[in-house]
Chain A
Amino acid sequence: MSAIPVATPPLLHGPGFWKRALGHRSFVIGAVLSLLLALTALLSLLWTPYSPYEVVMAAKMLPPDSHHWLGTDPYGRDVASLILVGARASIAVGVIAVSIGLLIGTAFGLLAAARRGWVEEAIMRVADFGFAFPAILSAIMLTAVFGAGMVNAIIAIGIYNIPTFARITRASANAVWSREFVLAARACGKGPLSITMEHVLPNIASVLIVQATIRFAIAILAEAALSYLGLGTQPPQPSWGRMLSEAQTLLFQAPLLAVFPGAAIALAVLGLNLLGDGLRDIFDPRLARKR
Chain B
Amino acid sequence: MPLLEVSNLHVRLHTHRGPAYAVRDVSFTLERGETLGLVGESGCGKSITVMALMGLLPESAQVTGSIRFDGQELTAKSDPQMCEIRGNRIGMIFQEPMTALNPVHSIGRQVAEPLRLHRGLSASAARKEAISLLDRVGIPQAARRIDAYPHQFSGGQRQRVTIAMALACGPDLLIADEPTTALDVTIQQQILELISDLVAERGMALMLISHDLGVIAQNVARMLVMYGGSVVESGPTEAVFAHRMHPYTLGLFAARPGLLSQKGRKLATIAGSVPELVDLPAGCPFAGRCRFTIPECHVTVPPPHQVEPGHHVRCIRLEAVAAEKAAPTPTLPREGREEEAA
Q: Which residues of A contact B (CB under 8 A)?
A: 8-10, 13, 116-117, 179-181, 183-191, 194, 198-199, 202-203
Cα-based distance from A124 to B254 in the complex (angstroms): 53
For residue A186, which residue of chain B has the nearest CB?
Answer: B56
Cross-chain contact A181 with B99 (CB below 8 angstroms): yes
How many whole Å from B50's CB to the nearest CB in chain A?
10
| Cβ–Cβ contact B83 & A198, under 8 A | no
Interface pairs (26), CB distance under 8 Å: A8-B104, A9-B104, A10-B103, A116-B59, A180-B94, A180-B95, A180-B96, A180-B100, A181-B100, A181-B101, A181-B102, A183-B100, A184-B100, A184-B162, A185-B102, A187-B54, A187-B56, A187-B92, A188-B87, A188-B113, A188-B166, A189-B86, A189-B117, A198-B113, A203-B103, A203-B104
Cα–Cα distance between A185 and B162 once the two chains are bound (Å):
10
Residue of B82, B88, B102, B168 most packed against chain A (CB within 10 A):
B102
Set B80, B86, B104: member contacting A188, Cβ < 8 A: B86
Contacts of B85 in A (CB 8 A): 189
Which residue in chain A gives the minimum CB-CB distance to B109? A198
**Across the interface, do A13 and B56 meet the contact criterion of CB distance under 8 Å?**
no
Assuming A10-B103, A181-B103, A198-B102, what are 15 further A-B pairs, CB within 8 angstroms?
A: A13-B149, A117-B59, A183-B100, A184-B94, A186-B86, A188-B117, A188-B165, A189-B82, A189-B83, A189-B87, A189-B118, A190-B87, A202-B102, A202-B104, A203-B102
A7 to chain B, nearest CB (A): 9
Total of A-B residue pairs, C-beta within 8 Å: 77
Does B114 touch A at the CB level, under 8 Å? yes
Q: Chain B's nearest CB lies how many Å from the CB of A226?
A: 38
Q: Are A191 and B94 in contact (CB-based, < 8 A)?
A: no
B114 touches A189 (CB 8 A): yes
Q: Shortest 4 CB-CB distances between A and B: which pairs?
A: A188-B87, A189-B87, A187-B92, A189-B86
Confirm or deny: B105 has a beta carbon within 8 angstroms of a beta carbon on chain A.
yes
Given contacts A179-B99, A180-B94, A184-B101, contact A10 B151 (CB under 8 A): yes
Tell me the nearest residue of chain B to A116, going by C-beta: B59
Q: Which of B96-153 contact A (CB under 8 A)?
A: 96, 99-105, 113-114, 117-118, 149, 151
CA distance A117 to B149 in the complex (A): 34
Interface: B276 (CB within 8 A): no
Binary flags per residue of B258-289, CB closer than 8 Å to A gives 1, else 0: 00000000000000000000000000000000
Provide the residues of chain A in CB contact with B100, threshold 8 Å. 180-181, 183-184
A176 — nearest CB in chain B belongs to which residue?
B102
State the Cβ distance, B58 to closest chain A Cβ, in Å: 9
Q: How far is the CA of A12 from the CA of B86 in the complex (A)?
A: 32
Residues of B whose CB lies within 8 Å of any CB of A are 54, 56, 59, 79-80, 82-88, 91-92, 94-96, 99-105, 113-114, 117-118, 149, 151, 162, 165-166, 168
On chain A, the residues within 8 Å of B91 by CB distance are 187
A residues in contact with B162, CB < 8 Å: 184
Measured in the bound complex, the distance between the Cα atoms of B92 and A75 in whole Å is 74
Chain B, residue nearest A8 (CB): B104
Query: Smallest distance from the beta carbon of A204 to chain B beta carbons, Å?
Result: 10
Question: Hey, which chain B residues are within 8 Å of A203, CB to CB?
Answer: 102-104
A202 to B87, CA, bound (A): 22
A10 to B106, CA, bound (A): 10
| Chain B residue contacts of A116, Cβ below 8 A | 59
> CB distance A184 to B165 under 8 Å?
yes
Contacts of B56 in A (CB 8 A): 183, 186-187
> Whole-angstrom distance from the CB of B117 to the nearest CB of chain A?
6
**B105 pairs with A202, CB closer than 8 A:** yes
A185: chain B residues at CB < 8 Å are 102, 113
Bound Cα distance A194, B102 (Å): 14
A187 close to B104 (CB less than 8 A)? no
B149–A10 touching, CB < 8 Å: yes
Closest chain B CB from A76 CB (angstroms): 56
Complex Cα–Cα for A202 and B105 (A) = 9
Nearest A-chain residue to B115, judged by Cβ: A188
Q: In the complex, are the beta carbons of A188 and B114 less than 8 A apart?
A: yes
- A199 to B101 Cα, complex, angstroms: 10
Do the beta carbons of A191 and B83 come within 8 Å of each other? yes
From residue B107, how far is it (CB to closest CB) to chain A in Å?
A: 12
Least Cβ–Cβ distance between A24 and chain B, in angstroms: 21
Least CB distance, A182 to chain B, in whole angstroms: 8
| Chain A residue nearest in CB terms to B162 | A184
Within the complex, the shortest CB–CB distance from A249 to chain B, in Å, comes to 54
